[in-house]
């Protein structure tokens, strides 16, 4: 049993991981939040601690006795990542053994400017351990969540719907140049949470780059699978060129809108083209293809097969 601190865990991935850690009944879990604990959160399984993340000393006091810190803090508005830097400094001061920064996506960050804070945090941790190991950490990277491909049918408790350029429900698809050979890593949230739970108990040293490879699939293979699980009917394909995506001059009959809690509703339509082009360019450049670091460290763990998962998720759907 260890004491785990969760920072910024109100998002979908954070809540899914909290539930799994609590369900093990092996650990003491404290939740760091800028907000006061809601009445319905009262639970003997977790302890809610209010903090504004402004003071390293205050954070270090909160983190006394903590073994592992898992961060889900998002700092799109400030790529200098001030909150995570304070969390890291406080973890060192408090004697925390392990730290997981707010990654939870991909190793490659090119074309996804909203992830600038991740790159800053990576460099900060790298510099911290430049001369000697000061803080053990891993970058948990599952690629893209496979659960997103079941929209509008939920396949997880907390993961929000994300409108993607690969629309299984309406059988429509964006294809970039000859990008059918680009490789995407897709991992279920269940596999991600189970790996994190096992990583907490892992007795060896955490790998710095913590790739979690559920499934690797090319975009061409994914389209073939999509048509198969959607009853064998062909998808309407929108062909776009990478150079047009980069220039912002691409045209299509529809645009995915990212319906996400982190984006104010009034901004979603305006940002739709930007996010669509960014995701398509990132996939085209193999930026959502991750390593298998945790697969190799946890060889007995059986990951969910993409064919089985999507076939079951779309079975009987119109």
pLDDT score at 45: 81
List, for residues 162-204, the tens digit of each pLDDT value.
Answer: 889 999 999 999 999 877 899 999 999 999 999 999 999 999 9
CA 244 to chain centre: 28
CA 137 to chain centre: 17
pLDDT score at 200: 98
Buried/exposed code over 195-222 (b: 16+ C-beta within 10 A; e: otherwise): bbbebbebeeebbeebbbbbbebebebb
pLDDT score at 267: 74
The residue with tokens 């430049």 is: 130
> Where, residue-wise, is CATH 3.40.50.720 in the chain?
3-137
> What's the pLDDT band for 133 if we cut at 50, 70, 90?
very high
CA 258 to chain centre: 15
List, for residues 86-105, the tens digit of each pLDDT value.
Answer: 999 999 999 999 999 999 99
Quote the mean pLDDT of the chain. 94
What's the rounded Cα separation, in Å, for the pair 122 and 250? 33
List, for residues 263-306, the tens digit of each pLDDT value.
Answer: 777 777 778 999 999 999 999 999 999 999 999 999 999 999 99
List, for residues 216-262, the tens digit of each pLDDT value.
Answer: 999 999 999 999 999 999 999 999 999 999 999 999 999 998 776 66
pLDDT score at 35: 83
- The answer regarding whether domain 144-186+215-288+302-314 maps to CATH 3.90.25 reads yes
User: For a pLDDT cut of 90, what percent of the chain falls above it?
Assistant: 86
The residue with tokens 């639970």 is: 43
List, for residues 34-48, the tens digit of each pLDDT value.
Answer: 887 776 654 568 999
CA 230 to chain centre: 26
The first and second tokens of residue 59, run together, are: 């954070």
pLDDT score at 262: 65
pLDDT score at 270: 74
C-beta separation of 137 from 100 below 8 A: yes
Neighbour count for residue 2 (Cβ, 10 Å): 15
- pLDDT of 308 > 60? The answer is yes
Domain spanning 3-137, CATH architecture: 3-Layer(aba) Sandwich (3.40)
What's the rounded Cα separation, in Å, for the pair 57 and 60? 5
């Amino acid at each position: 049993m260890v004491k785990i601190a969760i920072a910024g865990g109100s998002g979908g991935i954070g809540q899914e991981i909290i539930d799994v850690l609590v369900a093990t009944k092996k650990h003491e879990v404290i939740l760091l939040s800028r907000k006061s604990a809601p009445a319905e959160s009262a639970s003997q399984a977790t302890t809610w601690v209010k903090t504004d993340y402004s003071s390293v000393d205050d954070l270090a006091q909160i983190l006394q006795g903590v073994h592992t810190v898992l961060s889900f803090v998002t700092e799109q508005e400030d790529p200098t990542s001030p909150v995570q830097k304070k969390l890291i400094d406080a973890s060192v001061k408090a004697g925390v053994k392990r730290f997981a920064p707010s990654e939870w996506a991909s190793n490659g960050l090119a074309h996804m400017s909203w992830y600038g804070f991740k790159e800053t945090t990576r460099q900060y941790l790298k510099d911290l351990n430049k001369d000697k190991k000061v803080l053990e950490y891993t970058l948990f990277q599952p690629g893209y969540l496979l659960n997103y491909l079941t929209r509008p049918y939920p396949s997880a408790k907390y993961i929000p719907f994300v409108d993607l350029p690969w629309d299984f429900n309406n059988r429509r698809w964006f294809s970039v140049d000859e990008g059918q050979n680009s490789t995407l890593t897709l991992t279920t949230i269940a596999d991600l949470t189970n790996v994190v739970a096992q990583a907490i108990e892992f007795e060896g040293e955490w790998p710095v780059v913590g790739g979690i490879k559920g499934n690797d699939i090319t975009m061409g293979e994914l389209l073939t699978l999509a048509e198969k699980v959607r009853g064998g009917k062909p998808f309407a394909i929108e062909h776009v060129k990478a150079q047009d995506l980069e220039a912002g001059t691409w045209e299509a009959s529809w645009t995915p809108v990212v319906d996400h809690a982190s984006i104010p509703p009034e901004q979603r339509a305006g940002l739709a083209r930007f996010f669509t082009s960014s995701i398509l360019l990132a996939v085209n450049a193999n930026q959502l293809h991750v390593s298998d670091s945790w697969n190799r460290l946890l060889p007995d763990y059986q990951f969910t097969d993409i064919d089985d998962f999507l076939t079951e998720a779309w079975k009987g759907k119109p």
